[in-house]
Amino acid sequence: MKYDAIVIGGGHNGLTAAAYLARAGRKVLVLERRHVLGGAAVTEEVFPGFHFSVCSYVVSLLRPEIIRDLELPRHGLEILPLDGTFTPMPNGDHLWRVNDHARTQREIRRHSTLDAEAYDEYGKAMVEMARFVKPILDMTPPDPMSLDPRGLMKLAFLGKRFRALADLDRYNQVQLMTMSAVDFLDQWFETDVLKATMSASGIIGTFLGVRSPGTAYVLLHHYMGEIDGAFRSWGFARGGTGAISNAIAAAAREAGVEIRTEAAVARIAVANGEASGVVLTNGDELQASMVLSSVDPNLTFLKFMDTKDLPDDFVGDVRRYKFRGSSGKVNLALDGLPNFTCMPGDGPQLRGAISISPSVDYMERAYDQAKYGEFSRRPYMDMVIPTLTDPSIAPPGKHIMSCFVQYAPYKLASGTWDEQREAFGDTVIDTIAEYAPNIRDLILHRQVLTPLDIERDFGLTEGNIFQGELSLEQLFFARPLPGWAQYKTPIRNLWMCGSATHPGGGIMGAPARNCVMKILGNK
């Protein structure tokens, strides 16, 4: 039998694409290599009773239109608020920002009166910037080299929007698009720890430092959630991140999508420049009038295809596409709660994100080590304890602490990740212990994911959590490749719908939705 569309990969993007296609009347099959759905947006019971959000652990940018269109709440999606960012400092002080604006201002005033005032201005400015950028997320990037009037209109549209901005907003916008997070924040704030912890969002998942130009832009993402209005800027999914994928899968199934797990694709069937289906590793051949790949370009074009079927310069571009995973993940099963010296007790400071980013130099030094092929001896970390918000995911009285760790370069100067995995895990524990010494006694189990593990287990080349670096030369009309930013490929009826396409990674779903809109001719 023949499908209208086969979607490779049962991650949140693959499932979203499938759901939208099915709702448009297409007969769709989703193929997932693993036994669970969700890709990197997955919940797994790694240790008995402990349900880890193994990779992705918080949600902010999931497009509200997707939540509405697919009626995700009806399919079991519930977002629980994640309130605040707590930054412990080695000198016994701390910085604790919460959603309650007044409280945050009082807290910042402890560090600097000027910054407390600037924080207000900054928040307002960033919301304006986010308003400007938001439509770009939901747009198929134009091809600057084509004379397609729709593309040119988009460019004109962007130009007009930019000119319509107030002078100050223009100034900020240009800076956000080009500057480093620290250079940008330096203009607003004087408190080192504040700049350090804010700049962290600019480098997550990239192989860049907080002083690298191009990192300021991502600061915006923290304000996108707010203007979406669907939920607070950051949150947990009840039941773990996998619950998001499961809700999308439920919506897809309801729309008639067929989903197969443990169905690994061996290759994409291509005949005279046209995709006709896929062949599974078990030899099954599946026909379809179109194939959507939600996996990264490396797998799609270099693993699943014969490069002879592709133009040489295209293959060259795919080979040049930068992955460069730079982060790892350590998931801890805890017997109790960590006790931070600078703010003892299990107060609300533990309910939000806990950020190990005590100073700008600390952040930059962590990057410097990675540049030369070592993992940071004192890494940047973003930690959450979801069990405080959602006790259902661990046994009574037990806790889960999820630690995102950067920098962990995929390519090590010496040794292999298999040799260094435990040393990396120890570094993480040692770093936490400097702020919460009791952590060692609490650990029941620990799961260490190096970039190599992320590549092996989740099919993310070089362990890049965004399916390719979010650096300026790989954004918008250059994502994933210059000239191929419109979800199309050189192969007819083969489409890309994963995080490697515009607007990129994170649990957004926008790439998949944009791709389907393009396929259905709505964009």
Partner 1 sequence: MSSDTVIIGAGVNGLVTAAFLARAGRKVLVLERGDHIGGCARTTGLVPGFRCPTLAHVASIDPAIVRALDLARHGLRIIRPDADICAPTAGDRALVLWRDQARAAQEIRGFSASDADKYPRFLVSFSRIAAVLRNVCKSIPPSIDEPNAADLFTLLKAGRAFRGLGRADAYRMLRWMPMSVADLADEWFQSEPLRSVIAAGGILGSFLGPRSSGSAALLLLLGAGEGQPLANGWFAAGGPGALADALAAAAQRAGAEIRTLSDIVSINVTGETATGVTLTTGEVISARTVISNADPKRTLLGLVGATHLGPEFVRRMQNLRSHGTLAKVNYAVDALPRFTSLRSREASEQAAALSGRIRLASGVDAIERAFDAAKYGGFAEEPWIELTIPSIIDPALAPPGRHVVSAYVQYAPYHLRGSNWDSERDRLGDAATRTIARYAPDFESSIVGREVITPLDLERSYGLTGGHIFHGEIALDQFFVTRPLLGWARYATPIKNLFLCGSGTHPGTGMDGRSGALAARQVLKAPATWKP
Taking contact as CB under 8 A, which single stretch among the options 99-107, 183-191, 338-346, 380-388 is the one that binds partner 1?
Answer: 183-191
Beta partners for residue 86, in sequence order: 96, 354
Minimal distance in Å, beta carbon 101 to partner 1?
24
Residue 178 CB neighbours (<10 A) = 14
Q: Which of 229, 272, 282, 372: binder of partner 1 (CB under 8 A)? A: 372
Q: Of 86 and 119, which has the nearer Cβ to partner 1?
A: 119
Minimal distance in Å, beta carbon 482 to partner 1?
4
Close Cβ partners of 490 (under 8 Å, ≥ 6 residues apart)? 273, 310, 311, 314, 484
Q: Which of 4, 78, 368, 457: binder of partner 1 (CB under 8 A)? A: 368
Minimal distance in Å, beta carbon 462 to partner 1?
15
Residue 231 in contact with partner 1, rule: CB under 8 A:
no
How far, in whole angstroms, is CA 286 from its chain's centroid? Answer: 31
Q: Of 178 and 307, which has the nearer Cβ to partner 1?
A: 178
CA distances from 25 to 136, 257, 277, 309, 510 (A): 27, 10, 19, 31, 20
Residue 170 in contact with partner 1, rule: CB under 8 A:
yes
The answer to whether the CB of 389 falls within 8 A of the CB of 337 is no
- Six token digits for residue 327: 């982060």
Q: Which of 102, 167, 396, 397: binder of partner 1 (CB under 8 A)? A: 167
- Cis check: omega of the bond before 81, within 30 degrees of 0: no
Question: How far is 268 from 73, CA to CA, in rounded Å?
Answer: 34
Residue 25 CB neighbours (<10 A) = 11
Beta partners for residue 331, in sequence order: 402, 447
Q: Which of 2, 74, 101, 371: binder of partner 1 (CB under 8 A)? A: 371
Residue 178 in contact with partner 1, rule: CB under 8 A:
yes
Nearest to 301 by CA among 435, 495, 440, 475: 495
Q: Of 363 and 436, which has the nearer Cβ to partner 1?
A: 363
Q: Of 162 and 416, which has the nearer Cβ to partner 1?
A: 162
Q: Which of 45, 284, 361, 419: binder of partner 1 (CB under 8 A)? A: 361
Minimal distance in Å, beta carbon 144 to partner 1?
7
Q: β-strand 28-31 against 258-260: which pairing, if any?
A: parallel
Question: How far is 191 from 181, CA to CA, in rounded Å?
Answer: 14
Q: Of 159 and 344, which has the nearer Cβ to partner 1?
A: 159
The answer to whether the CB of 381 falls within 8 A of the CB of 404 is yes
The answer to whether the CB of 407 falls within 8 A of the CB of 379 is yes
Residue 473 in contact with partner 1, rule: CB under 8 A:
yes
Residue 313 in contact with partner 1, rule: CB under 8 A:
yes
Number of residues that bind partner 1 (CB under 8 A): 36
Q: Of 145 and 423, which has the nearer Cβ to partner 1?
A: 145
Q: Which of 86, 217, 477, 487: binder of partner 1 (CB under 8 A)? A: 477
Q: Which of 64, 76, 213, 256: binder of partner 1 (CB under 8 A)? A: 213
Give residues in contact with partner 1 (CB under 8 A).
144-145, 162-163, 167-168, 170-171, 174-175, 177-179, 183, 186-187, 208, 211-214, 313, 320, 322, 361, 364, 368, 371-372, 471-473, 477-478, 482-483
